[in-house]
Structure 1
Amino acid sequence: MPTGPGGPPIPADGPDIPDPGGGPRAASLAGAWRRFLLRRAAGLIVNVTLLVVVTFLIVQLIPGDPATAIAGENATLDQVEMVRTQLGLDQPIPVQFANYMMGVIQGDFGDSYRFRVPALDVVMAAVPYTLAITIPAVLLLLVVGIAVGMAVGVATRADRRRFLGTSFNVVTGFISSVPVYVQATALVVIFAVWLRALPPAYSQAYDLSQAAILPVLSLTLGGACAVARVVRREAAVILEQDYMRTARGWRLPSLALYAKHMLPNLLTTALTLSGIILTALLGSALITEAVFAWPGLGGVIVQAISIDKDYPVIRAAVFVIGVISLVITLVIDVILGIIDPRTLGD
């Protein structure tokens, strides 16, 4: 607990961190973690089960007939029916669902209609490319969003620098409202066409790290602005708390004042918001991949839906995206529990 020169100790933090003398005992905290993990495990099982059901039903809504797509436009009706029988599409829906469930339990989503290899292999080959742009985007939007939000919140404390606060709200609100594909297209025009500084799309002629810059940037901009706006509002509230006023009164160094006393209270809100943003980021990544011809899950799904009607690949891709989203949410919940144990009871 910091102390002022010749004065009483200053509270190290606000009400978000309980006093060590009155905090939960180790046994109680361990019990809270056990209950938390059990709840999350049960929820994960339920969500994965629902995801499997949805991945089966979703392909039934896709227009077109995969048997016709495979047999070809010039195929006869008998040839199309033969392909449908080979694929098992002539069986009743309940039978197809039962066979699908048995396969998923064994980690088998069936063979791709187009590539004649396990559908999960086709999807997993594209996953590293999607993660190569989403993981850097996630880290970047958190760092930039929190840093910018804190800086503007401190600079505009107590309604100071109104022009800066208004400009910040206008700019971040505008950027976060622009669709990802529009941002991606604008980045291509600026940096690839006008400036000729970066490659416009993925190609083996360019280094992978260079080709990933624009996709990562397009995924980062909107999320970073959304995080910055929320962090700035939270910072304005925290800065007016009594413990922050006392710390400013003792003229603590900026690093201790903001990084030690202010940042921990902002992380809970920022991480909670980022969980929502990160889940949406997966959907945005699929669109971004289409703009930049990135060989990730986006291209696999578009090809499987629009051209091949490749049901096994579609199901495997949707399932993998859903599992990644669930894992991200679980990791964020665990981090929140470490930062603020009170969230374990939520």
Structure 2
Amino acid sequence: MLRLLARRLLLSIPLLLVVTAITFFLQSLIPGDPARSLLGPSATPQQYEALRQALHLDQPVIVQYLNSIGGVLHGDLGRSIFTGEDVGQTLANRLPVSLSLIVGGTLVALLIGILLGVLSATRGRLLARFIDVFSLVGGALPNFWVGLVLAAIFAVTLALLPATGYVPFEESPGDWARALILPVIALALSGIATIAKVVRDGVSTAIGQDFVRTLRAAGVPRRVLIWKHALRNSSVSLVTVVGVIFVASLSGTILVENVFVLPGLGSLAVAATARQDIPVIQGVALAFTVITIVVNLLVDVSYGLLNPKVRAR
């Protein structure tokens, strides 16, 4: 297991470099000039040039990138061009909001998806067909559109839940949960459909295998057969899908956070891109990449625990 983790960590280093390089060079292609955005149209050319030099924007892109990487290696993510705030501190303040949304959406998708998948595998074809239709619809609907519909119904029309805003957990756990209900559902919808299909296929396959028939003949209760033995048959596929859904939620949270005005990394990325705030863009991309690497490591560890052959590779 330690060798497996060591290999994955070594492979993550080139991934970090590639992602940060692509992000840096792509943002350099965005039209506009941060110095002009800061100073406005009334500033003189000398003021523009002085600010560009102060922000090191007059240097070649490759030099700017190398300077940025050097700062990251020393634990310095730089400061926001527009606010002057430390990027690392800004990310630390906003990370709990995004993690609450992503983890909540993944857990909701996992619980409801497993329940629907098991029911569709054991209760007949009608529910199975519903899962197929639900998978197509759930995967096709954009999560930001789902969020807008949910906000219109439950926040505006019924006034049951807040449409926007975020309350930290330490201030009020109840208000924190109420603020996350709608965005979590919007983020989880497509994941529910995917997990339900995976679980249904795995349980359906397991029910027809010899070991399940043997356990049934031995008098093992049906619920134990389904929830303990048959469900285990889809555990490896389920771990893979959950990891994919978690990583996909990183991109989904960008739109969902803006719909519900949540102060997370997604809304920060949109604001920074609009203002060409290069250090913040780099910081958010780095944070998303690290989260992806950590999730992939957890998936690999889960593989090793579920399948000893993986640890022997």
Q: TM-score scaled by structure 2? A: 0.92
Q: Which structure 2 residues correspond to residues 258-337 of structure 1 after superposition, within 5 A?
A: 258-306=226-274, 308-337=275-304
Distance 1:240 1:203, change over 3 A: closer
Work out the CA distance in 2 between the residues paired with 1:45 and 1:142: 30
Alignment of 1:1-346 (within 5 A): 33-156=1-124, 162-202=125-165, 207-306=175-274, 308-344=275-311
Preserved contact between residue 28 and residue 61 of structure 2 (Cα < 8 Å): no
One-letter amino acid matched to 1:218: A
Q: Deviations over 1:185-235 (max 9, x none)?
A: 111122112221111111569922211111111111210111101211122
Secondary structure at the residue paired with 2:32?
coil
Name the CA distance, whole Å, in 1 between partners of 2:239 and 2:188. Answer: 15
Q: Shift of the alpha carbon at 1:344?
A: 3.3
After superposition, the C-alpha distances for 1:150-182 in whole angstroms (9 at most, x for unaligned) are 1211223xxxxx333222211232122211111
Deviations along 1:84-140, one digit per CA (max 9) or x if unpaired, are: 011011112232222112111112122111111222222221111111111121122
Letter in 1 for 2:134: V
The one-letter code matched in structure 1 to 2:304 is: G
More helix by share: 2
Aligned with 1:261: secondary structure? helix
Partner of 2:262, secondary structure, is: coil
Aligned to 1:331, the other structure's residue is in SS state helix
The question of whether the paired residues in 2 share the 8 Å contact of 1:145 and 1:228 is answered with yes
Secondary structure of the 1:117 match is coil
8 Å CA contact 1:199–1:211 kept in 2: the answer is yes
Residue 24 of structure 1: aligned partner: none
Q: How many angstroms apart in 1 are the aligned matches of 2:244 and 2:186?
A: 18
Deviation at 1:345, TM superposition (A): 5.3
Aligned CA-pair RMSD = 1.8
Structure 2 CA distance for aligned equivalents of residues 77 and 67 of structure 1: 11
TM-score (norm 1): 0.84
> For 2:246 and 2:52, how far apart are their aligned partners in 1?
39
SS of corresponding position for 1:61? coil
The share of aligned pairs that are identical, in percent, is 33
* Distance of 1:249 and 1:87 partners within structure 2: 75
Deviations 1:1-60 (A, max 9, x none): xxxxxxxxxxxxxxxxxxxxxxxxxxxxxxxx2331222121122222223323322321
SS in structure 1 at match of 2:286: helix
The worse-fitting range, judged by mean Cα deviation, of 262-271 and 48-57 is 48-57
Letter in 1 for 2:273: I
Larger radius of gyration between Structure 1 and Structure 2: 1
The unaligned stretches of length 5 or more in structure 2 are none
Helix, strand or coil: the match of 2:28?
helix
Q: Which amino acid is 1:312 matched to? A: P
Which has the larger displacement, 308-317 or 250-259?
250-259
Query: SS of the counterpart of 2:5?
Result: helix
Count matched residues: 308
Task: Assess if the C-alpha contact under 8 Å between 1:264 and 1:339 holds in 2.
Answer: no
